[in-house]
Chain A
Amino acid sequence: MAPLIPQGIINPELNLFFALLLGIGFGYVLEQAGFSSAKKLAGVFYGYDFVVLRVFFTAGITAMTGILFFSYLGWLDMDFVFVNPTFLYSAILGGIIMGFGFIMGGYCPGTGIVAAVTGKTDAMVFIIGMFIGIFVFGHFYQSFESIYTGHFLGNIFVYDSLGMSRAWFALTLAVVAIMAFTITQMIEDRIKKVSPEQIKTRPSYMLPSFLVVIALIVFLFLPEERRSNIREARPPELLAQVHGEDAYISTHRVILEIKHGRDDLILIDTRDQSEFERFSLPGAINIRADEILQRRWRPLFKQDHRRKVFFGNGSSSAMQAWLTAARAGYDNVYILNGGLNRMFSELFVESEMPDTTAYNLQDRSNARFLYEARQFFLEGGLVDQEEDRRQRIKAPEESEIIPVIGGC
């Protein structure tokens, strides 16, 4: 239930329950496809039955087409999809062992269990052998570790290794699959000596194949990423907010907030991490402009209705963050006008002496406010504050990716 658990739609405690349901469904499909028969499975190696190849290629091509379009449309976040890391040595060695096991036993692990459940004795023996293998591997793991973790290549994709674009690779794979279907069907017919009359009465797969190829050709012409979506704010609205100064919040408001340890504003530091670690305003979190759109920050912007204030040293990095957030449709976002540079200069240069002679009472009050704040900060007032007066928002984990336990 990979996309639903990290989204908080399904309780992680129920993971195994859903795994059981999915497992039953998967087992049912395998059984219905005839995969509980070792003869059928091994047929692919002897050339008399290629149904395994066709079923898995069909599943792969359908899933690939769905994932490509779903991720483009924003229905599926590829950041949440676990990509199995490649350890080259163990992949090659594991592939060889698996291949031999498949030919000799007639099953792969998933189909072995399905067959054992249907009462096939050879499958039960196969599963016992599998568990002996697991035990041996676990017991002598230390000896195998260098092979198991050997030649780490990271989370690589085939199309990157081939230097192709994702869309071209998908189309090529689909065409290769359709060709493989046709050729294997011809081989199978020749070996089984199927009569032409029987071939004519067989269902035709022309239309689904044609539609998949058309869909993948359309995907070739789509941009890498969607340009925009319906939730995004329109450019004139953003321009009006910047121009009309609605996007800004005053330095006095932020000074008041941190001096009294209030928790009404969420302060977001848009500078680099190194600068943030050296100094930041109390309770601030560090999100750079290019990190705003990460899914992990979405609850902060969408669900927390406090005002979010972006600040940097000046206003430029805060403006980049603000425009990104405001365009994405996040409300209640502001820029600290002038950033830390203006705030410090108001606090520590312009407020050296409170102006008690000013005619305007508002000016006098402002001057006194800044003078008092200056004394408070210089005397280390923030250090003396209890640590939890302004709660720091905890940065969510980078991504909660749950490995997909797959196979047949």
Chain B
Amino acid sequence: MKNSTLNNSAILFFTVLMAAVIFCAITSRNYQISNRAVAGKAMTEGFVSYESLYYDYLQDIDNGFLLVDLRYHAYYEESHLAGAHNIPFDELLQRNHQRKLKKYDNILLYADQEQVSVAAQMLLLGAGIENVRVIPGTYSTIMQYVVEAFDPSRAFYNEDKARWDHQRFMPVGGGETKKQPETSPSREGMDPTAVIGGC
């Protein structure tokens, strides 16, 4: 192979890779964190329990966290949790709010619907504001079970828990049963004709 052919191929390979990386950087400015990472984070560390809210936060209001009330101004004016800062959900992406939120490393969200807090949390995570968690339930359940009188039986309250014995009210056939993946080492699943070799 001629030296110039080798050099030209290398330059082409390098240029294509770098051009693609630059293109990606330009077209991915809407989010700071990948979709997969946001979904994983929201599922694993998305909620703060009522127990933790009561003992770790509301008892010690000055420990450097920010409570965010996502309801409309009018509802917030009527009543809100002590120390809460009001950012209505529809104004969540405004720059001034985001700048304020970025200053805190522990943010707790609540709204009048749990799923609105979840949506806000995921949008904020996508915008690169981490350490955002959701207080489960709604403003009224937080007031009822935590603020007015802490109810230990609701320490892990969550709107997403099943409240019905579904099968009793709506008998249907069983759900899809998925095959558990094989955990023991085995070569049996591999194609017997495949020679996996090297030199």
Binding site for B on A (CB under 8 A): 62, 65-66, 69, 72-73, 84-85, 87, 98, 102, 108-111, 148-149, 152, 154, 203-205, 207-208, 211-212, 214-215, 218, 222-223, 225-230, 232, 234-236, 238-239, 242-243, 269, 273, 275-282, 284-286, 288-290, 292-293, 312-320, 323-324, 327-328, 335, 339-341, 344-345, 347-348, 377-378, 380, 382-383, 387, 392, 395, 398, 403-408
Which residues of B (116-131) have their CB < 8 Å from a CB of A?
Answer: 116, 118-119, 122-123, 126-127
Q: A314-B115, A318-B115, A341-B164 are in contact. Are A227 and B33 (CB under 8 A)?
A: yes
B20 interface residue per 8 A CB criterion: yes
- Cβ-defined partner of A211 (8 Å) among B11, B31, B126: B11
- Cβ-defined partner of A328 (8 Å) among B7, B21, B35: B35
Q: How far is the CA of A228 from the CA of B160 in the complex (A)?
A: 29
| 6 residue pairs bridging A and B, Cβ less than 8 Å apart | A102-B199, A228-B34, A313-B162, A314-B161, A344-B169, A347-B169
Contacts of B32 in A (CB 8 A): 227
Q: A227-B33, A320-B122, A344-B163 are in contact. Are A403 and B171 (CB under 8 A)?
A: no
Contacts of B181 in A (CB 8 A): 398
- Cβ-defined partner of A110 (8 Å) among B14, B118, B199: B199
Chain B residue at minimum C-beta to C-beta distance from A282: B172
B190 interface residue per 8 A CB criterion: yes
Q: How far is the CA of A387 from the CA of B160 in the complex (A)?
A: 29
Q: How far is the CA of A230 from the CA of B167 in the complex (A)?
A: 43
B166 interface residue per 8 A CB criterion: yes
Q: A235-B126, A408-B198 are in contact. Are A340 and B162 (CB under 8 A)?
A: yes
Contacts of B39 in A (CB 8 A): 289-290, 292-293, 320, 323-324
With contacts A281-B172, A327-B35, A341-B159 known, what are 19 further pairs, Cβ within 8 A? A62-B13, A205-B6, A235-B126, A236-B93, A277-B176, A314-B115, A314-B158, A315-B114, A315-B115, A316-B118, A316-B134, A319-B118, A319-B119, A320-B43, A323-B122, A340-B162, A405-B196, A406-B197, A408-B198
Q: How far is the CA of A85 from the CA of B40 in the complex (A)?
A: 27
- Cβ-defined partner of A314 (8 Å) among B114, B172, B185, B196: B114
B99 interface residue per 8 A CB criterion: no
B166 near A344: Cβ-Cβ < 8 Å: yes
Q: How far is the CA of A203 from the CA of B160 in the complex (A)?
A: 67
B146 interface residue per 8 A CB criterion: no
A290 near B164: Cβ-Cβ < 8 Å: no
Which residues of B (151-199) have their CB < 8 Å from a CB of A?
Answer: 158-164, 166-167, 169-178, 181, 185-187, 190-191, 194-199
B17 near A69: Cβ-Cβ < 8 Å: yes
Q: A69-B17, A239-B89, A403-B191 are in contact. Are A324 and B38 (CB under 8 A)?
A: yes
A348 near B169: Cβ-Cβ < 8 Å: yes
- Cβ-defined partner of B34 (8 Å) among A208, A226, A238: A226
B100 interface residue per 8 A CB criterion: no
Shortest A198–chain B CB gap in Å is 15
B199 near A149: Cβ-Cβ < 8 Å: no
B36 interface residue per 8 A CB criterion: yes
- Cβ-defined partner of A278 (8 Å) among B93, B116, B175, B186: B175
B119 near A225: Cβ-Cβ < 8 Å: no
Chain B residue at minimum C-beta to C-beta distance from A279: B166
Contacts of A339 in B (CB 8 A): 160
A84 near B196: Cβ-Cβ < 8 Å: yes
